[in-house]
Amino acid sequence: MTAAYLATVEWALEGEFARGRYSRAHTVRFDGGVEIRASASTHMVPKPWAVEDAVDPEEMLVAALASCHMLTFLDIARRAGWSIDRYVDQAEGVMSKTEDGRAWVSAVTLRPNIRFLGAAPSPAELDALHHEAHEACFIANSVKTRITVEAPRSSPS
Query: Domain span at residue 13?
Result: 1-55
Please give the Cα distance from 87 to 121 (Å, whole number).
14
Give me Rg for the CA atoms of the chain: 19
Question: If pLDDT is split at 50, 70 and 90, which confidence band does 152 have?
Answer: confident
The model's pLDDT over 90-115, given as tens digits with 9 standing for 90+, comes to 999 999 999 999 999 999 999 999 99
Q: Are 27 and 9 in contact (CB under 8 A)?
A: yes
Mean pLDDT for 38-57 is: 95
- Tell me the pTM: 0.92
Residue 155 located in a structural domain = no
Question: What number is the average pLDDT over the span 133-155?
Answer: 89
| Chain mean position to CA 156 | 26
**Whether residue 61 is found in the same domain as residue 43:** no
What pLDDT score was predicted for residue 99? Answer: 95
Task: Please indicate, yes or no, if residue 105 is contained in any of the structural domains.
Answer: yes
46 and 63 within one domain: no
